[in-house]
A and B are shown apart, each in its own frame.
Chain A
Amino acid sequence: MNNKAFGNYKVIPIVHQEGFEPPRPPESADDGMLSLYASHQTIYPRSVSGLFSNWRWGMVWLTQIIFYGLPWLEWGQRQAVLFDLASRRFYIFGLVLYPQDFIYLTGILVISALSLFLFTAVAGRLWCGYACPQTVYTEIFLWIEKKVEGDRSARLRRDAQPWSLDRGMRKSTKHFLWLAVAFWTGFTFVGYFTPIKQHGVDLLQMSMGSWEVFWTFFYGFATYGNAGFMREQVCKHMCPYARFQSAMFDKDTLIVTYDTERGEPRGARSRKADPAQLNLGACVDCSLCVQVCPTGIDIRKGLQYECIGCGACADVCDEVMDKMGYARGLVKYTTEHAMQEHWTQSQTLRHVLRPRILVYTAILATIVIAMVTSLALRKPFRVDVIRDRGVMARVVEAGKIENVYRLQVMNATETDQRFKVTVSGLPGLEVTSDNELTVPAAQARWLVVRTQLPPEVAPPGSHPIKFEIESIDMHVHDAEKSVFLVPQ
């Protein structure tokens, strides 16, 4: 099969299901040596509509309204969502996160990973097919491409022709629109880290900081390159998730599958003909499933590593089946088990709730609940107690023993807070220095605290004590452990 065959798909009868057909012949030299590298063949996906396509577009709208819209929201006097790296503060609506809250990032990553495991175990590469930025932006870019250059067949025809004014105009219009979307994407991305309105003003005045310039154009360029040119190659050769997602498949995972038993032997036929009499299966060999595939594979060869589970072939095949008057579902989401056992759809779905899924769900739910609870119970301030670097302990007037501590108090709210420090853990132990301080909004302050212990109360050595810090305005307590040293 040669590469031009993509245009007018030739029928190759399947003799043996396992017979692999090369996507393109390796370029063989005269000496019988084969190159392990081949130049990339552009794929011209045909546009498709249907249930799964609608789901994907729904996800495109959902994710992109959030992505492009979020930075423009205001919260009081500031941007609602802002990751201020310079001052190390992450603002997310009413929440202000600090470097000390790093555990929540861990939580988000663990939740993301477990969600990926769960979704993949249930229905294959759902993330890839519907929500991954690579898919989402490719979808947006393909839509622009279709509007400007026409659908698959028109694009193929134009690209095969020599350059003309019309073709040049269309190409440059497409690239201009791509670059505009890409630039806006880069601009929005930076808007999460630099207040976006200021960023916009800086852009218009050409006074952006060098990092803002770099990231706006780098992220924009990456969008343009990945969604415009790299497309399926990212999934096939670069993406790490694609490599290990197949390891999460099992016999009850819903995957886009061609029903070989029903479809074969494939062949063209009239709509009025009875396929049983012609000794044909339901597949009319129209090759539309290959044309719509964004990775350029033929789903009828079974599950392949390139398949991103987008369901485009299922959509287009259902359309063809409707036209032919056959039952839908020649290409559908089903499981290996269901194909073997000839289960109905409800039987198939019953097997979704298997131990693996229940375990994933339980762990995921636990972590989500733990994280939400932890965020809800988060103290509005943080305290670190550090024993003084220089002075272990000293004996002061009347033989009292004095220990010095430095307390770092961090105000995690956006209003000023007053704090009071007390100490407990040994009889007669008390704070003898100034024990109140005010910390401005979203700032940290050091307080040097001196504690004194009456003589003869405790034997020489180290004694555990506790500092109690109270936020006077918020009536919240926090306790931090430390030690009090009594010298020999």
Chain B
Amino acid sequence: MSDFTSNFWSIYVAGITIVSIVACLLLLILTGKSKGMSTSDNTTGHVWDGDLREMNNPLPRWWAWLFVITIVFSFIYLALYPGLGTYGGKLGWTSVGQHQAEVDKGNAEVAPLYAKFSAMKPEDVAKDAQAMAIGERLFMNNCAQCHGSDARGNKGFPNLTDNDWLGGGTPEIIKADITKGRIAVMPPMAAAVGTAEDVKNLAQYVLSLSGSPHDSVQAALGKEKFAVCAACHGIDGKGNQTLGSANLTDNIWLHGYGEAAIVAMINEGKTNQMPAQADKLTEAQVHVLASYVWGLSNKGGIAAQ
């Protein structure tokens, strides 16, 4: 990858670098001698403020050699490392390469550990304190941004610590969700439901499904409209994990609680997406992470009933 529009600028910059270094050497040679020293009293003959005189105490010669060594060093450095225009140096060092090498080294160090966990069943990994400490760190760095540090989610981001799973809560499904991500769509249903009044009635009916406070008259009116919803949410409104449709009969309101929130959902619909993590995490990491997430709702590695 070239940083320059043409080769000229690379040569131009490299030229300035070389010329500057050579100029330093010349400066050292040319200023190493001086003329017109009055040597009688070891001063240079310069006087300031009437009585302040500059002494002529020569530096030790090794001091000048140190300067020469730095110049030699700079040429060796420029030959080995990037520094002259776009020339990459003999060693082929790059910061990206160094980072990659360190990442690889780190991965190689923890590989046996991950290999041990990969060979275990997720239910057993969830019982392993060391694996759970790793899982927690992976979660904090990759999942907590949306699902929260306590994994209890937020509006639009599911709670991972309860037993309500939109797509299923087995370790295999969790692993697949982390790897490939999930997309769930609720289409806008207002046209299929009917008037704005119908939508409000339907919302009251949905509230009634979970026994939340609602207007029973409106809910009764909205009940027949629910047929439109039943295709995905089921006749009983318990949702369908194959489709990823939400259970409407519990007290979990992923996209907001109350008539207004339900009405907005029916009218506008929603596309909710969990991004795929396959390119960020290795398979072994996903395995540990899925075990950790599974363990959040299945305490101590024992599956919840």
Contact = CB atoms under 8 A, between A and B. Distances in A.
Interface of A: 19-23, 25-26, 28-29, 32-40, 233, 237, 388-391, 394-395, 397, 402, 404, 406, 433, 446, 448, 450
A23 B153 CA distance: 80
B227 interface: no
A19 to B, nearest CB: 6
Contact of A20 (B41, B62, B63): B41
Interface centre among B34, B59, B153 (most CB of A within 10 A): B59
Contact of B37 (A34, A38, A397): A34
Contacts of A39: 60-61
Interface in B83-140: 136, 140
A433 B42 contact: no
Interface in B142-165: 144-150, 152-155, 157
Contacts of A397: 251
Given A33-B33, A390-B144, A20 B55 contact: yes
Q: Which of B31, B41, B64 has the most CB of A within 10 A?
A: B41
B150 A36 contact: no
Interface string B10-33: 000000000000000000000111
A167 B147 CA distance: 80
B158 to A, nearest CB: 12
A28 B37 CA distance: 10
A395 B148 contact: no
A390 B59 contact: no
Nearest to B148: A391
B35 interface: yes
B148 A36 contact: no
B60 A40 contact: yes
A450 B157 CA distance: 17
Contact of A22 (B39, B63, B136, B150): B39
Contacts of A388: 144, 148-150
B150 A433 contact: yes
A26 B152 contact: no
B33 A389 contact: no
A388 B144 CA distance: 8
B58 interface: yes
B257 interface: yes
B170 interface: no
Given A21-B42, A33-B35, A35-B32, A448 B57 contact: no
A448 B154 CA distance: 15
A189 B85 CA distance: 42
B43 interface: yes
Contacts of B272: none
Contacts of A21: 41-42
B60 A38 contact: yes
B257 A395 contact: yes
Interface residues of B, number: 37
Contacts of B42: 20-23
A156 B175 CA distance: 82
B145 A36 contact: no
23 contacts: A20-B42, A22-B39, A22-B56, A26-B39, A32-B35, A34-B35, A35-B58, A36-B31, A36-B58, A36-B59, A37-B59, A37-B63, A39-B60, A39-B61, A40-B60, A233-B60, A388-B148, A390-B145, A390-B149, A402-B152, A404-B152, A450-B150, A450-B152
B150 A38 contact: no
B149 A404 contact: yes
Interface string B48-75: 0000000111111111100000000000
A433 B150 CA distance: 9
B64 A37 contact: yes
Given A37-B58, A389-B145, 14 more contacts: A20-B42, A21-B41, A21-B42, A22-B39, A34-B37, A36-B31, A37-B61, A38-B60, A233-B60, A388-B149, A390-B147, A390-B149, A394-B155, A450-B152
Of the listed residues B32, B56, B150, B155, the one surrounded by the most CB atoms of chain A closer than 10 A to its CB is B150
Q: Nearest 4 pairs between A and B by C-beta?
A: A22-B42, A38-B58, A391-B148, A33-B33
A40 B148 contact: no
A161 B47 CA distance: 44
A390 B41 contact: no
Nearest to A394: B154
Nearest to B146: A390
B56 A237 contact: no
B57 A23 contact: yes
Q: With a 10 A CB-CB cut-off, give which of A36, A394, A395, A402 has the most chain B CB atoms.
A: A36
A39 to B, nearest CB: 5
B60 A37 contact: yes
A40 B61 contact: yes
Contacts of B63: 37, 237
Given A33-B33, A37-B64, A237-B63, A404 B57 contact: no
Contacts of A448: 149-150
A447 to B, nearest CB: 10
Nearest to A433: B150
A20 B57 CA distance: 11
A245 B88 CA distance: 46
Given A22-B39, A404-B148, A35 B33 contact: yes
Contacts of B59: 36-38, 237
A404 B145 CA distance: 12
Contacts of B147: 390
A19 B148 contact: no
A29 B37 CA distance: 12
| Most B-side CB within 10 Å, residue of A21, A233, A390 | A390
Nearest to A32: B35
Contacts of B31: 36
Nearest to B42: A22
A15 B126 CA distance: 93
Contacts of B60: 37-40, 233, 237
Contacts of A29: 33
Given A23-B57, A397-B251, A34 B33 contact: yes
Given A26-B58, A237-B60, A404-B150, A36 B34 contact: yes
Contacts of A36: 31-34, 58-59
Contacts of B152: 391, 394, 402, 404, 450
A19 B56 CA distance: 14
B90 to A, nearest CB: 23
A39 B59 CA distance: 8
A416 to B, nearest CB: 16
A38 B136 CA distance: 66
A36 B150 CA distance: 70
B43 A20 contact: yes
A448 B59 CA distance: 63
Contact of A26 (B37, B150, B154): B37
Contacts of B43: 20
A117 B224 CA distance: 90
B137 to A, nearest CB: 9
